[in-house]
Amino acid sequence: MDLETVRARIAEAARRAGRDPAAITIVAVTKGHPIAAAREALTAGLPDIGESRVQEALEKMAAWPDAPVRWHLIGHLQRNKVKHAVGRFALIHSLDSVRLAEAVDKEGAAAGLVPDVLVQVNVVREPQKSGVAPEQAELLVARVAGLPHLKLCGLMTMAPLTGDVALQRETFRGLRELRDRLTVDLRLSTLNVLSMGMSNDFEIAVEEGATMLRLGTVLFGERQP
């Protein structure tokens, strides 16, 4: 893990955008890596740990039950896994439908909890990716904001896996502009988190307003198959 270099790249991107690097959180993505990677991240000063699969995350939580970390669920959440996710993750990044939001809200009510959540938006409408289409985002965001056992904290997206910098920038700018519009149109003051940017595009995400970066490969190398 060359965290010092990663932080320097984030700081330089923030400087170019006139932003404070301290306003940007790194979520260390340990999907496909052993629990040792999460321990390494914490030791290096990264207490936010991201996992894509509920089952893999639960296994790591069980192996490290007293971990002083904040677990993030960054992958698609199936409705049949909601009961296992609520109460275990500090932030669920991937609400992408009204049905899923209502299922998480129902489980939160049953557990007496109000989970922190993000709405995932498929900004450039990639058919193979999860996320609500931009034109449907207002309906979903309004519904999530109105559910009593959810705390809507912001939006999440993934840029296409491409070397096309213009497309990456379009994706991240699109999420920021959507957040800004919904903040006004829905009179919301809670959409503070923009979870966007991964190992291959995080500097562009920072320039376009990311507050949370999901970094795996750049920290830990290629994950296990």
Q: Which domains does the chain have, with CATH numbers?
A: 3-220 (3.20.20.10)
* Digit-coded pLDDT (tens) for 47-100: 999 999 999 999 999 999 999 999 999 999 999 999 999 999 999 999 999 999
Q: What is the mean pLDDT of the chain?
A: 96
Rounded to whole angstroms, the Cα distance separating 212 from 26 reads: 6
Q: Are 220 and 30 in contact (CB under 8 A)?
A: yes
Rounded average pLDDT over 138-159 = 98
Rounded to whole angstroms, the Cα distance separating 164 from 47 reads: 32
Q: Which two tokens stand for residue 96?
A: 């992408």
Global confidence as pTM? 0.96
